[in-house]
Chain A
C-alpha cells in the first residue's frame, strides 16, 4: 500500500519542519476563518469557578444547582449592594446536572470547604442559607447522560486517576480528558466544537442562508419537539436514585443547620403545554411542595409565574439570556426570595 510506504522525499529535519509548519499554519488559518463563521462560545461559569468563589470567601448564601444557577450571578451583586456588603453569596453551577451530580459536587468538592476548620474554628462560619436550583429534569432517569457531566465539569485529576485505577479508561471518565483537552485550546473552534456538528451547520448556513419562512418552520419544529419531549418525560422523570440524592443533599444541609430553599426555576413558556403542566410538571411540583414543613427546608415555585417571556430565553430553549439574568434576579429577589436580605 503506497500511502504506507516510507519515501526518501523528506530527507532532512528541515524539510520535515517546513512541512509540519505548513500543516499547522493551514489548520490554524482554517480555524481562524471558521471562527468567523461559527464563533467559539464564550467561557461560562463552571463548578471550578464556583469552588474557587467559595474558597476565597465566607459566604452567607450558597447557590448550588444546574446551569440555571448562573442566572443568579446578578443577584449576588444585588445582595452585596443592598446589604451594604454585609451579605455574600457564592454560586456553584453544575452544567448538565441532575440531583446525583449536585450531590457529588456537594459531598466531594464543597463539603471540605464548608466543614473546613482551622485551630478548631470554622473557616466559613457565615453560611446559613443555601439555594438548590432545580427543574423537573433533575429527577429524570437519563441513561444516555447519567452523571456523565461530572468528569467533564467537576472532577480534579485526583478524581480522574482514582476512577481509572478502579475501572480503567472508560467512556465515562474519558469526559474528563476531553474537557482538559478543550481547556488547552479555548480559542479554537475546531477543538471546542469537534463532534457537535455546529461548525458544519454554520458553514452551510453561511453559504446558503435559510429564508425567514424556513427559520420560522425550523423554530416551530423545535418547539414541537421540545414540547413533546417535556410531555413524554412524565415517563422517565421520576427516578428513585435522583430523589434519593435530593434527600441526601437536604440531609447534608439540615445536619449543619443551614436553611435550604429548593427553587423550581422558570421554564420557557412557549414549550410548556397544558399536558406537561398536568403531568410532568404537576408531579414534580407536588413532590417539591411535599418537602415543605421539614426543618430548614423551604420551596419556592417559579416555574410558571415569573415575568420571563419567550424572548428572555436562549435558542437552547432552556437558559435565560445574559440580558435577562438581571431582570430575573431582580424579580426573584424582590418577589420570591426577599428574606435572603434578612438576617437568618
Chain B
C-alpha cells in the first residue's frame, strides 16, 4: 500500500473511523493501529508479515529482560548484544547478502580463483531499514536508561507498525512516539488541520513535483544519455535532485500529516535542504532522522570512545557516511555517494579549522565570513557537491557513472528531454519552479510574514486556496507508478 495511491482513500477513512470510535481509549486505539499497520504490511507482501512480527516480539522481550535485570549489568549487556546481533543480522541477511556474495564472487573472479558463493534471491521486507533502526534506538536507549522499558506489547507493536512511517520513515525514536502511545488520544481541530495541510504539501511534492520530473526530465536523460548535450545532462541532474527531494520530503510530510490525523506527532525529516550553505548544515536539513540517528548512535560513541577511535573525527565521518551510503542500498554506488559526502565534511571541517586561524590573526576574516558573497559561494559549492554526488547515487555501473560525469563537461547533442518539448510542459516546469521558490522563501522573513498573514486570513480565503490547489492536482498531477524512491532503502 502506498500513501499517495488510490488504496489510501479506502483504507484511511476506515482506519480513522475505527480509531476515533474509541477516542481516548488507549487499548482500542493502539489495537486499531496494530491491526491497520499489519494489514498495510500484508498488502505489500503477505509472505513477509512474519518479519515485522518477529522483529517486534524479539526487541520487546529483550527490552523487558533489560528492565527485569536491574543490577545485573551482564544480563543487560547480553540483551543489548542479542538485539544488535538480531537486528543487524536481519538487515544483513535480507538486504546485503546478495550484495556481499556478488562482491565476493567478483573479487574471486578478479583474482583468478574459482571460488564462488551462491546468490540467493531474497525479497527485501518493506521498510526494514527504517523499523530496524527505530528498534535499535529503543534497545540502546533502554540499555543506557535514557528511555523507560515499554511494558505493553500492544504499545510497542503500535509504535513499530505505525503505518504512515512504515514504508519510508521518518525513523521514529521510542521517546518520540512511545509516550504518545501510552495514553489515549482525543481529536483536536488544530492537529487535524495541520495534518491535512502537511498531507496536502507532501502529496503536492510527491504526486506532482517528483512524479512529473521523473519521467519528463530525469529518466529519459539519465537512463540513456546518448544524444543529450551537457546542458540537458545538467538539467536532468538538477531535476533529479529536486525529484528525490520531492519524493522523500513529500513522503515524510504525508507521514507527518497522517500521524496528526491520529493525533500522533512524528518528527520532522526535511527542513529546506536547498538553503544549506555547508554539508554539515545540509545533513541537519536532509533526512534529519537518519542523520541524527547516525550521529547519536554511531559517530558520537565512535569518536568519543576511550579507545583508538577517540578524536578521529575525519575517520569517523568516512565510516559513518560509508555506512550511511550502504544503508541506502546494497550497491557500491551508494557507498561511493556516502564517502563523497564524508569527504566534503572532512574538507569542510579542515577549512573551518584553517579559517579560525585566519580569524585569530585578523578579525576582518570574521566579517568576510558574514558577507553575502561568502554565503553565496558556500551555498553554491554545497549544492553543486550535493547534485554531483547524485550521479553515483543513481548510476551504479562505473562506466555509466564515468560517462555521465564526463558528459557534464563535454557532451554535445541537440536532444531535449520530453519536459522541454511544448508549451504545456514548460507550464509544469514553471509551476514547479515557482512552487519550490515559494516553499523555500517561507523560511525568509518576508516569506514567514506572508505565511503568517495567510494563516491569519479568513477561513473562506484559506479554504479557497487549498481547494484550488486540490483542483490543480486533480487536473495535472500524473497518476504515478505507486512507489517511493526511498521505500526501496
Contact = CB atoms under 8 A, between A and B. Distances in A.
A195 B479 contact: yes
Contact of A22 (B194, B271, B460): B460
Interface in B1-52: 1-2, 5-7, 9-10, 42-46
A1 B271 contact: yes
Interface string B254-291: 00100010000000101110000000000000000000
B463 A18 contact: yes
Contacts of B471: 26-27, 30-31, 190
Interface in A1-55: 1-13, 15-16, 18-27, 30-31, 34
Nearest to B471: A30
Contacts of B179: none
Contact of A26 (B270, B271, B455, B463): B463
Nearest to B48: A168
B355 interface: no
A22 B256 contact: no
Contacts of B434: none
Contact of A200 (B424, B443, B456): B424
A6 B194 contact: yes
Contacts of B466: 19, 23, 26
A12 B190 CA distance: 7
A75 interface: no
Contact of B198 (A4, A34, A165, A181): A4
A314 interface: no
A26 B467 contact: yes
Contact of B193 (A4, A10, A194, A203): A10
Contacts, number: 137
A174 interface: yes
Contacts of A195: 478-479
Interface residues of A, number: 48
A330 to B, nearest CB: 40
B439 to A, nearest CB: 7
A15 B189 contact: yes
A199 B474 CA distance: 10
B442 A2 contact: yes
A16 B44 contact: no
A168 to B, nearest CB: 5
Interface of A: 1-13, 15-16, 18-27, 30-31, 34, 164-169, 171, 174, 177-178, 180-181, 190-191, 194-195, 199-200, 203-204
Given A2-B442, A26-B466, 14 more contacts: A7-B194, A13-B187, A15-B193, A18-B463, A19-B459, A22-B463, A26-B471, A168-B44, A180-B10, A181-B10, A194-B474, A195-B479, A200-B424, A204-B424
11 contacts: A1-B268, A3-B439, A3-B451, A8-B190, A15-B459, A22-B467, A25-B467, A30-B467, A31-B471, A171-B481, A194-B477
